[in-house]
Each structure stands twice: as C-alpha cells, then as structure tokens.
C-alpha cells in the first residue's frame, strides 16, 4: 500500500480540475501551471513515485525531484497523504477525512474541495480530531468550517461576496461560481497546514468534518454536499493499508 495516494490537483491544494495560485509554505502553485511541493518525505531504502493519467487525452509532464542521501533517524516519521470523497454526503452523516490510522505520528494538513448543493451558508460544521482511543467525544473540536481555515463570518468580504486568500498556513484560494448555463453549483477549495501546530497522536487518529447550514427557526440544516478531502500526516511505519477510492468516475465533476 502506498504512503501517498491522491488526485494530482488535490495534492497541490487546488481541486475541481482547475488551477489556482497557492502561496503557502509547503505548497506553491504559480503561473502558468507550476506546482511545487516542499513536504519533507524521508525514506531509508528506496522511494517510488508514480503519476497515472486516467483520462483518454495524452498530456505532457515534466518534473524535478530534489533529494539527498543521508542517515535517517530511527524515530523519523514518514509522510502520508490520503484522498476521500463523499458525493453526495448522506443526510445527517459526517465526512471522514481520515480513519484507521494506527501508530505514532502527527497530523500536518487538510485540503478540502467543497461543492454546495443548497442555498444559504454551508460552513457551520466542526472539524473534529479523535486521538488515541477517543470514541464519542473528540480531543479537539473546532468552532466552524471557516474558523478552521483561518477565516471568519462566512468568509464574506466585501459584503455580498466571498473573499479569497492564500497565506503561509491557511487559505481559501479557490471560489468557482455558476455561469448561468451549464456550470452549476458553487465550489470552493480550502487548505490548513498544521506546521506550527501539529496534532500529535500516540496510537490512532480519526478526523471528520460536519456539513451544516441553517434552516428556518435558526435550526441546523444537515447538508448533502459534494466534499473531497486530502489529509496529510507523518507517522511511524508500518501504516495501515489504504482503501483506494480513486478511479475515473469517482473523480468526475458533475
């Protein structure tokens, strides 16, 4: 089982098959298609990197990998990244970002691609981190989706529209709007890197996010949105095998 398995764009913090510029510490996406990753990826014996084109059209790819052959400490954790998608998210369910992670390590980042399938605000849901045997109640519980990604008050700035931003550790760089014809639904891309604030675990880790809006009477509305996530973490080996969910139809944007 690989340590990293994600769609190409989501790994570089821009989903939906559309490029946007990212100006962060571990990931930089620059005009006109330069995608750069600075995540440290230690290995002891060998490293094997593949890119698979699932489409029918041939593409041109060029790349550069920088590495150094040196001693790796016995307790050095390995880099991992995993992609998941809920399309649509079942009613009253949470989207799971990570589950089944066993071992010792630290969580370092989240990328979310979020399609809104209803009117109104969509970001009341909390990000929750279940650490080392947590069951019903998580060790860490957020205060809202936009808060987790470093924004506030619905990301609304200036009034009446979403304000995009890209910073060293967090951002909402991607906002895709309907065109009034064939392009439906609002879509967003958000990232949060836990580099200065890694979330450490000794035995196991599970990460989820709620999808909540508002309905009449100031009641929560469980959303049935299209949510794709990539979780980034380091852990000691061996890691639990990934349950692969990446195939062409699963990646389709509809």
Q: Tell me the mean pLDDT in the region 12-23.
A: 96
Q: What is the pTM of this model?
A: 0.96
pLDDT tops 80 at residue 79: yes
- Note down the domain range covering 167: 4-251
CA dihedral 250, 125, 19, 168 (to 10 degrees): -130
Q: Tell me the mean pLDDT in the region 135-164.
A: 96
pLDDT tops 90 at residue 1: no
Q: Report how many domains make up the chain.
A: 1
pLDDT score at 7: 96
Give me the phi and psi of 136, to 5 degrees please. -75, -40
How far is the first Cα of the chain from the last one, in angstroms, to the nearest whole number?
Answer: 29
Which CATH number do you get for residue 225? 2.60.120.1390
Cα gap 147→135, rounded to integer Å: 24
pLDDT score at 246: 86
> Percent of the chain, pLDDT > 70?
99
pLDDT tops 90 at residue 201: yes
Q: Tell me the mean pLDDT in the region 128-150.
A: 97
Question: Across the strands, what pairs with 121?
Answer: none
């Amino acid at each position: 089982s690989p340590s990293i398995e994600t769609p190409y764009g989501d790994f570089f913090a821009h989903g939906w098959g559309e490029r946007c510029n990212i100006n962060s510490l571990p990931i930089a996406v620059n005009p006109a298609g330069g995608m750069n990753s600075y995540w440290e990826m230690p290995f002891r014996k060998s490293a094997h990197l593949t890119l698979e084109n699932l489409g029918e059209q041939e593409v041109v790819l060029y790349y550069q990998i920088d590495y150094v052959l040196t001693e790796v400490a016995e307790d050095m954790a390995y880099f991992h990244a995993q992609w998941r998608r809920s399309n649509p998210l079942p009613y009253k369910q949470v989207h799971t970002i990570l589950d089944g992670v066993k071992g010792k390590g630290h969580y370092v980042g989240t990328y979310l691609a979020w399609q809104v399938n209803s009117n109104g605000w969509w970001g009341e849901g909390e990000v929750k981190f279940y650490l080392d045997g947590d069951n019903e109640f998580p060790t860490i519980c957020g205060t809202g989706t936009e808060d987790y990604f470093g924004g506030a008050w619905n990301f609304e700035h200036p009034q009446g529209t979403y304000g995009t931003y890209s910073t060293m550790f967090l951002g909402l760089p991607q906002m895709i709007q309907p065109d009034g014809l064939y392009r439906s639904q609002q879509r967003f891309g958000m990232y949060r890197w836990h580099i200065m604030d890694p979330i450490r675990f000794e035995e196991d880790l599970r990460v989820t996010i709620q999808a909540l809006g508002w309905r009449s009477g100031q009641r929560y509305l469980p959303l049935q949105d299209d949510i794709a996530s990539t979780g980034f973490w380091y852990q000691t080996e061996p890691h639990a095998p990934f349950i692969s969910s990446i195939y062409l139809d699963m990646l389709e944007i509809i």
